[in-house]
Amino acid sequence: MGVMKRVTMVFRAKANRALDRMEDPRETLDYSYQTQLELLQKVRRGVADVATSRKRVELQLNQLQQNSDKLDRQARDSLAAGREDLAREALTRKAGVQSQLDDLQQQYASLQSEEEKLSQASQRLQSKVDAFRTRKETIKATYTAAEAQTRINEAFTGISEEMGDVGMAIQRAEDKTAQMKARAGAIDELMASGALDDMVSGPHDDIQAELDRMGAGHGVDHELERMKAEIAQSAPRQIEGAAPASSDGATAQSASSAPAADPAQAGEPE
């Protein structure tokens, strides 16, 4: 018979069972309309739920991206400082963060598509519900209960099919968001417990500490070198510098104050 026909029959059978339960066909219309409005509410809540999950994953993505960028910087700094061992450690941690990132990106895309599908389903259902409301009023105003039956059956079967479809779409979205929530919760917990921080940068960011230490060390060395060079050059320069300073009045004064410092500096080597 084919899959399509069989699925259609299942949908029809469900609508027929619901119709059979109704005693007054026109009551069916009002009752069904209520159910439709409830389903519309439900699908809108579904869209909002998926959006919330998506935003949460988005925040986590940003956070992990920052961590990854930081580790990348640290690896570069380490290499620049000639510390390949530190760079390797930073890159190893970055790879760990990256695999979390890849996983989250997939989840994000999946939630985005689920949100889009549900939001479209919500619009489709809205159109059908609007059409049903109009049809319902027409049927109630125009036909006797007996005459109305066929028309009610058709409208009801049509809307019931849409509702069945939307109902399943909500179910699928709920299942997906439940999975994502569990995983997002696990990552939040990791972040809160500091375990992910450990993975990113060690308990106290040992890579950064090492870089800072080296950075500070280098800073002091550089400063010392610079000062030594200055001192070594300052004596001959100031002596030579005193002569051309007389060419203008302003520097003549500063030049005259310079020799005062000279004896102290000159005295140091002795």
Residues lying near another protein in the complex (CB under 8 A) are found at 1-8, 10-15, 35, 117, 120-121, 123-124, 127-128, 130-132, 135, 154-155, 157-161, 164-165, 167-169, 171-172
Write out the two tokens for 93: 């941690």
Rounded alpha-carbon distances, angstroms, from residue 26 to 15, 17, 129, 152, 259: 16, 16, 16, 8, 111
Cβ proximity to another protein: between 32 and 63 the closer is 32
CB-CB contact of 173 with 165 (8 Å): no
Cβ proximity to another protein: between 8 and 254 the closer is 8
Write out the two tokens for 50: 């998926």
**Residue 60: CB minimum distance to another protein, A:** 25
**Residue 219: CB minimum distance to another protein, A:** 58
Cβ proximity to another protein: between 167 and 202 the closer is 167
- DSSP E strands, 14-150: none
Half-sphere exposure of 75 (CA within 13 A, CB side): 15
CB-CB contact of 159 with 90 (8 Å): no
**Residue 118: CB minimum distance to another protein, A:** 9
Cβ proximity to another protein: between 161 and 188 the closer is 161
Cβ proximity to another protein: between 60 and 160 the closer is 160
**Residue 136: CB minimum distance to another protein, A:** 10
**Residue 16: CB minimum distance to another protein, A:** 11
Nearest by Cα to 93 from 66, 72, 79, 78: 72
